[in-house]
Structure 1
Amino acid sequence: MKFIIQRDKLLQSVQDVLKAVSTRTTIPILTGIKLVTSEEGVTLTGSDSDISIESFIPSEEDGTINVEVIQPGSVVLQARFFSEIIKKLPMDTVEIEVGSHNMTVIRSGKSEFNLNGLDAEEYPLLPQIEEENVFRISADLIKNIIRQTVFAVSTSETRPILTGVNWQLENSELICTATDSHRLALRKAKVESDNNLSCNVVIPGKSLSELSKILDDTNELIDIVVTENQVLFKAKNILFFSRLLDGNYPDTSRLIPSESKTTITVTTKDFLQAIDRASLLAREGRNNVVKFNTFETGLLEISSNSPEVGKVVEQVQSTSVDGEELKISFSAKYMMDALKALEGTEIVVNFTGAMRPFVIKALNDDNMLQLILPVRTY
Structure 2
Amino acid sequence: MRLNIDKVPFLKSWQLAERNVGTSSAVNTLTGVLCTAEENHITLQATDLKTCLTCNAQGITVERNGSAVFPVKVVGDIFKKIPAKQFTVEVSEGSALITAGRNKYRFGTYRVEEFPRIPSSATGEYYCDLSCGELLRVLGEGSISGSVNDEFPQYLSGASLQLEEGRLTVAATDTRRLSLSRTMVREGTQGAQLVLPIRGLRELGRVLSSCESEDPVRILVDGAQAFFQFPGGEFSVRRIDTKFPAYEKFLAKDRTTWMVMDKDALLAAVERMDLIVRDFTRMVVLQLSPAGNLHISAQAPEVGDAMEELDAEIDGEPLRIAFNVRFLLDGLKAVSGTLVHLSFNGSVGQMTMSRPDDDAFLYVAMPIALSEEDAFSEENAL
Q: Matched residue of 2:302: which SS? A: coil
Matches within 5 A, 1:203-222: 203-215=196-208, 216-222=211-217
Give the Å deviation of 1:228.
1.7
The CA distance in 2 between the partners of 1:103 and 1:311, in whole Å, is 62
Task: Give yes or no for the alignment of 1:113 onto 2:135.
Answer: no
Structure 1 unaligned spans of 5+: 59-65
TM score, norm. by length of structure 2: 0.91
Change (3 A) 1:37 1:307: same
The alignment yields a C-alpha RMSD, in angstroms, of 1.7
TM score, norm. by length of structure 1: 0.92
Equivalent residue, structure 1, for 2:147? 154
The CA distance in 2 between the partners of 1:73 and 1:305, in whole Å, is 64
Equivalent residue, structure 2, for 1:277? 272
Aligned length: 367
Q: Is the 8 A contact 2:341 2:355 kept in 1?
A: yes
Q: Is the 8 A contact 2:46 2:53 kept in 1?
A: yes
Q: Matched residue of 2:331: which SS? A: helix
Equivalent residue, structure 1, for 2:306? 312
Q: Matched residue of 1:142: which SS? A: helix
Equivalent residue, structure 2, for 1:61? none
For 1:169, the aligned partner's letter is L
Equivalent residue, structure 2, for 1:251? 246
The CA distance in 2 between the partners of 1:217 and 1:182, in whole Å, is 35
Task: Give yes or no for the alignment of 1:361 onto 2:351.
Answer: no
Query: Between the two proteins, what is the percent identity of the paired residues?
Result: 26
For 1:225, the aligned partner's letter is L
The CA distance in 1 between the partners of 2:237 and 2:278, in whole Å, is 39
Give the Å deviation of 1:218.
2.1
The farther-off stretch of 141-150 and 338-347 is 141-150
Pick aligned residue for 2:235 from 237, 240, 252? 240
Q: Matched residue of 2:359: which SS? A: coil
Q: Matched residue of 1:356: which SS? A: coil
Give the Å deviation of 1:5.
2.1
Q: Is the 8 A contact 1:344 1:363 kept in 2?
A: no
For 1:109, the aligned partner's letter is G
Q: Is the 8 A contact 2:168 2:184 kept in 1?
A: yes
Equivalent residue, structure 2, for 1:63? none
Matches within 5 A, 1:159-178: 159=152, 160-178=154-172
The CA distance in 2 between the partners of 1:148 and 1:172, in whole Å, is 19
Task: Give yes or no for the alignment of 1:93 onto 2:74.
Answer: no
C-alpha distance after superposition, 1:204-232 (max 9, x if no partner): 11111111112224201111112221011
Q: Matched residue of 2:349: which SS? A: coil
Q: Matched residue of 1:257: which SS? A: coil
Matches within 5 A, 1:74-89: 74-89=67-82
Q: Is the 8 A contact 1:90 1:111 kept in 2?
A: no
C-alpha distance after superposition, 1:176-204 (max 9, x if no partner): 0011122221100012335x544211111
Q: Is the 8 A contact 2:40 2:61 kept in 1?
A: no
The CA distance in 1 between the partners of 2:339 and 2:76, in whole Å, is 45
Task: Give yes or no for the alignment of 1:31 onto 2:23.
Answer: no
Structure 2 unaligned spans of 5+: 372-382
Equivalent residue, structure 2, for 1:230? 225
